[in-house]
Structure formats: C-alpha cells, structure tokens
Amino acid sequence: MKPLKITTIAVAIIMTTPFVFAETAPNTTGANPERSRMEQLRQKADELRAKASTTREKLLEQEKELREKASTTRENLKKEAQTMREKIQEKKIELKNNFDAKKIAILKRTAENTVRVLEAAIVRLEKIATRLDSRIAKMEANKIDVMQAKANMIIARQKINDAKIALAHAKNAIATIETDAKNASTTPNIMGDSTKKIKEQAKLVKDALQSAHQSLTQATKDLKGKEGMNKATTTPEVE
C-alpha cells in the first residue's frame, strides 16, 4: 500500500505545477494599462506643446503685423502733417506776396501821381521862364537895363534843372520798386527804403521848384515899370 500513496502524491504535484507557473508567469501577450495611459498623456502633452507653439508663433506674427501697420500709420501721419505744414506755409507766402504786391502797387501809384504833379509844375515854370526870357531879350535889344532880371533868370533856370534831375531820380526809384522788393529779405524794409528815396527826391524837386518860382517872381518884379512893360508877368503857385 505505501507505493500507491507515493505515486498518488507525485501525480498530485505534477497536476498542480502548471497552475502555479501560470499564476506567477508575466503577462507577455496583453498591453500594460498604466504604460498606455502614460503614453497617451505624453502624446497629449506633445499636442498641447505643439498647439501652444503654433499659437505663440501666430501671436508673434500678428504682433509684428500690428507693429508694422502702426509704423506705417505713423509714417503716413507724419507725411500728411508735413504736407499740411508745407501747404500752410505756401499759403502764408502766397498771402504775404499778394499783400506785398498790393502795398507795392499802392506805393507806385501814389509816387507816380506825385511825379505827375511835379512834372506838370516844372512844365509850367519852364513856360513862364521862356516868356520872361523872350521879354528880357526884347528889352535888352531896346537898350533897357535888365541885368538884375537876367541874374534871377539864371537862378530860376538852374533850379528848374535841379528839379528835373531830382525828378529823374524819383522816377528811377519808382521804376526799381518791384525789382528791389524781389531782392530784399523783407518787404517792409524795401517799402521803407523805397518810400524814403521817393520822398527825399520829391522834396528836392519841390524845394528846387519853390526856389525857381521865387527867382521868376523876382525877375518879373525887376522888369516891372521898365520901358516896354505895362504889366508884370504872373506865375502860378507850385503844388
């Protein structure tokens, strides 16, 4: 009976051994759930990183575009502002030139009127002097003493000539007003200088005509009462 017992025990050991091995052997055919979950998390993290990188690049690109747009807008605004300033400056210059042109035109017109008046006065005095010279020549031919009258006539003629010279200078000053204005740094300066020159020459003309008028008047008085002169020659007032 003992051999049977040993055999039975051996069979039992053999029968139970595969189950033990089956329980202790590693799982080589199925996937590890923990490892799979970690892999998925890594993939998710990589996707998020890639997405974040793409988003960052897009934001940087948008920021760059906005900067460029802002820079372009600033440049355009600067150009527009500069253009506006230039237009305003051009308008100011245009208005100033128009104003200066009007001032110059008024100055010329006033000066030319003065010249015409003085020129007419010179012509009148020359006519009077011519008549007196003719009268003196006739009286001198008749042996009448006209030395004093002739002396006054010399002075009168000289003063009339002085008036002509000063009048010519005045005309020249008037003729160069526009040219001088173009070459001047400021119109008020040239206006002042031109006005001063014209007034100075006009005064010289008036003073010379006044002296000529006095000499003609004195020559007329010298001839008054002389033989052959029944009445004195009258002279007009100088304007």
Domain map (residue ranges) of the chain: 99-223
Domain 99-223 fold: Four Helix Bundle (Hemerythrin (Met), subunit A) (1.20.120)
How confident is the model at residue 150, as a pLDDT? 94
Token pair belonging to 95: 């208005």
119-151 as b/e, with b when 16 or more CB fall inside 10 Å? Answer: bebbebbbebbeebbebbeebeeeeeebeebbe
How confident is the model at residue 163, as a pLDDT? 96
pTM, two decimals, is 0.56
Distance CA 63, CA 94 (A): 46
pLDDT confidence tier of residue 232, bands split at 50, 70 and 90: very low
pLDDT confidence tier of residue 30, bands split at 50, 70 and 90: low
pLDDT, tens only, 118-159: 999 999 999 999 999 999 999 999 899 999 999 999 999 999
Token pair belonging to 235: 């002279």
pLDDT, tens only, 33-57: 888 888 888 888 888 888 888 888 8
**Could you give the C-alpha distances from 180 to 165, 175, 177, in angstroms and in order?**
21, 9, 5
Please provide the DSSP assignment of 122-155 as one string.
HHHHHHHHHHHHHHHHHHHHTT---HHHHHHHHH
Q: Decide if pLDDT at 14 tops 70.
A: no
- Amino acid 152 reads N
pLDDT, tens only, 200-216: 999 999 999 999 999 99
pLDDT, tens only, 71-115: 888 888 888 888 888 878 877 677 666 667 788 888 888 999 999
Give the single-character DSSP code of 225.
Answer: T
HSE-CB of 221 using CA atoms within 13 angstroms? 7
How confident is the model at residue 172, as a pLDDT? 92
Q: Decide if pLDDT at 176 tops 60.
A: yes
Q: Decide if pLDDT at 238 tops 50.
A: no
